[in-house]
Structure 1
Amino acid sequence: MSQVVYITLEEPIPNRIDGIPKTQSDWIHPNLIESVDPVKGRQLRASEHIPKGTCVLIDHPYAIIPVVDDPATNDDLICSNSACNRRSLSQSGRLSCSNSCIADVSWCSSTCRDADKARHDFECTWLKRYADPIRKKWGEYDFGMLWVIVRLLASRQTKPRPQNENVLPTSQPLKHGWAGIESLCGSVDTWPHEQVRSWTTLVKKYLQNGPVLPHGLSADQVLHLICQEEANSFGLYPRETGIYPPPQPLVGRGEQFAAAVYPTAAMANHSCVPNMTHKPDEDGRMIFTASRDILPGQECCISYFDLTKHTDLTSRREHLRKSFKFTCQCDRCVSEEPAEETNDWTPMPMMDI
């Protein structure tokens, strides 16, 4: 059954700048509901009209990593404090790990470094031991994936876990925090056997519970977490994703600077004609904004890719099949399918011999 779900606000009516609530709390529009589709699974819908330009959802990352080249000098490197995530200039006094784990870890201030100590202590030994070997043997993508998993586990271990991680005591409340991560779609059945086998190898080599990574989960549980993360993680880009129709001249969303997992934002499904854009703010929160009027009952969708990069039907579907393992059946894709050819040929009647 669909239900209206809310995420606790620190203020009844948050202050707004350009329509976006400026508060550190996560937030969901009161006209946004969670429902379940027999094919797509969980999804977001509008219970009432949501006007164009309205802020629909704000979600903090449960885990986030930087994704930049030359992190020691790159000004797009984000602060490692998960409550900050602000980008800091390389010459502005950013602080590196005292244990010299990797250059990708830095803080914008001593305040952020001190506040992040417990979480970073969880990952530091793992990074120092495994980051370089993983990057050399498996490459940047697999390293980034494993690091996201480590940061998910670090948040699980170090963030306070209230007795009820749900948002409000409704009959079927929206899950958040680690409970939200556990409810994400994705399992070993979602992915090809060869891919699961490769991830199983990585788990056994680098993510086992032990002194280096004391997370307390079984190998199967960590493998399941990888399957969920790979089906739900977001790339963070400096400009909006999902502007439709694409601007002319074409302006893409820019270069990725981070990757993150959001417990609530991950519920949004894809459409090649989305009615919401998404963009991270300066604190790493993912902001969903209605890109056109969303009518009651309509599904609220985002685009999983830059619509300026894959424009024709074949390119879009191939990208989605390769990256997200589904064939898009959104209204745009279905309308662009070639019409079936009609067969006007009539067979010659049988002749008596």
Structure 2
Amino acid sequence: MSEVVYITVEPSIQLHGAPTQPYWIHPQLIDSIDPVKGRQFRVSDHIPKGTCLLVDRPYAAIPVVDEPATNENLTCSYPACNRRVALGTERFSCPNACIDDVAWCGTTCRDLDQIRHAFECTWLKRYSKPIRSKRGEYEFGMLWLIIRLLATRQVEVQNPSASNGSKPFPPVSKHGWDGINMLCGSVETWSHDRVRNWSTLAKKYLQNSTILPHGLSTDRILHLICQEEANSFGLYPRETGVFPIPTPFVDRGEQFAAAVYPTAAIANHSCLPNLIHKADDQGRMVFTASRDINKGEECCISYFDLTQYTDLTTRRQHLKNSFRFTCKCERCVSEEPVEETSPWNTIPMMDME
């Protein structure tokens, strides 16, 4: 059995060192290919604990809050903002009253978001209530995130200079819709039952039409759902990936949004991560080294709150159910029960006479 050294990480690590630009990658963080895992992040040199390694703006994000009309955690719908929108005079709702979940922190964000929101507005007015009542909040959120991916793509097509894809980004990874196309996930990734259900949803609610003029085939939309489900992030008020679990007990808090990040999605999972991740006040995903990282080492995050799934069985079962893989990270392998074997000299000899 291999030995694991557990590194203590203070839960108070802050993100104040993150650069201010929308996208940023540390020059020593490289995108490489593993024959088993596929794309992954590694470092080309030693990285000290506390170093900011990645800042990635979401390509699409949705709020995930109860009672959005009165919830203080609702985020601005303009993708370049994503700040919390306060109640009262600082919150501006959709002029067409599509859904309460859509709001902006000011008239500037609302006006700048006009093209993108126009793409989703009619769809939200027609389908949000029936989907929520018949299919539930999770499937509505999944479909709405797909709509917002398509809406951002529409902005790129109509106004490239204002799109996420027009921003300068290091050559380590493609961004914009090209980055979305490179995300892992396909119909082979998921169970037949899930794919069949998503196919039904795509045909019923996401077909190319005058309400949703995306110009893509149903198969491409189904593939996009498979990609989104494999790569979307939940946004929480505190860091994900702090290990060991701090004393006194502190979890990452209640989810307030979900988002898809074309570059941050490259990071693989480990139950002993060397990165913590957390969205900043603009919705940008920030990766920070939670310990010193050695040259050539893979950089991993935790896909879940480590305070919620603490033993080997529950961790592996959660990852199997949610992401369809069995975790073989150093921590999981070290916690596997030792199989008892019988030495050859204890096995009775056969009578050769």
Q: Give the letter aligned to residue 183 of structure 1.
A: M
The equivalent residue for 2:52 is 55
**1:266-300 deviation line (CA, Å, top 9, x unaligned):** 00000001000000000000000000011100000
> What percent of counterpart residues are identical?
66
Alignment map for 1:155-166 (pairs within 5 Å): 155-159=152-156, 160-161=159-160
The equivalent residue for 1:22 is 20
Instruction: Specify the SS of the correspondent of 2:278.
Output: strand
The equivalent residue for 2:239 is 240
Seen in structure 2, the aligned counterparts of structure 1 residues 244 and 169 have a Cα distance that, compared at 3 Å, is closer
The equivalent residue for 1:117 is 114
Give the alignment partner of residue 129 of structure 1, picking from 123, 126, 131.
Answer: 126
**1:295-326 deviation line (CA, Å, top 9, x unaligned):** 10000000000011111100110111011110
**Is 1:304 matched up with 2:289?**
no
Once residues 322 and 185 of structure 2 are traced to their aligned partners in structure 1, the CA distance between those partners, rounded to angstroms, is 14
Once residues 113 and 166 of structure 1 are traced to their aligned partners in structure 2, the CA distance between those partners, rounded to angstroms, is 21
Could you tell me whether the CA contact under 8 Å between 1:29 and 1:57 is conserved in 2? yes
**Is 1:95 matched up with 2:92?**
yes
Could you tell me whether the CA contact under 8 Å between 2:44 and 2:295 is conserved in 1? yes
Once residues 292 and 60 of structure 2 are traced to their aligned partners in structure 1, the CA distance between those partners, rounded to angstroms, is 32
Give the TM-score normalised by the residue count of structure 1: 0.91
The equivalent residue for 2:180 is 181
**1:12-58 deviation line (CA, Å, top 9, x unaligned):** xxxx98321123x3000000001000000000000001110000000
Q: Give the letter aligned to residue 142 of structure 1.
A: E
Once residues 169 and 88 of structure 2 are traced to their aligned partners in structure 1, the CA distance between those partners, rounded to angstroms, is 44
Once residues 139 and 59 of structure 1 are traced to their aligned partners in structure 2, the CA distance between those partners, rounded to angstroms, is 30
**Is 1:329 matched up with 2:348?**
no
Instruction: Specify the SS of the correspondent of 1:288.
Output: strand
Could you tell me whether the CA contact under 8 Å between 2:60 and 2:148 is conserved in 1? yes
Name which structure has the greater RCO, CA cutoff 8 Å, separation 6+: 2
Could you tell me whether the CA contact under 8 Å between 1:57 and 1:287 is conserved in 2? yes
Q: Give the letter aligned to residue 313 of structure 1.
A: L
Could you tell me whether the CA contact under 8 Å between 2:240 and 2:304 is conserved in 1? yes
Could you tell me whether the CA contact under 8 Å between 1:166 and 1:174 is conserved in 2? no
**Is 1:267 matched up with 2:286?**
no
Could you tell me whether the CA contact under 8 Å between 1:167 and 1:176 is conserved in 2? no
**Is 1:148 matched up with 2:145?**
yes
Give the TM-score normalised by the residue count of structure 2: 0.91
**1:55-108 deviation line (CA, Å, top 9, x unaligned):** 000000000000000000000000111111111222343111111111100111
Once residues 52 and 89 of structure 2 are traced to their aligned partners in structure 1, the CA distance between those partners, rounded to angstroms, is 32
**Is 1:255 matched up with 2:254?**
yes
Once residues 222 and 150 of structure 1 are traced to their aligned partners in structure 2, the CA distance between those partners, rounded to angstroms, is 10
Q: Give the letter aligned to residue 89 of structure 1.
A: A
What 5-or-longer segments of structure 1 have no aligned partner?
Answer: 1-15
Structure 1 vs Structure 2 CA RMSD: 2.0
Once residues 181 and 315 of structure 1 are traced to their aligned partners in structure 2, the CA distance between those partners, rounded to angstroms, is 31
Q: CA deviation at 1:350?
A: 4.6
Alignment map for 1:28-67 (pairs within 5 Å): 28-67=25-64
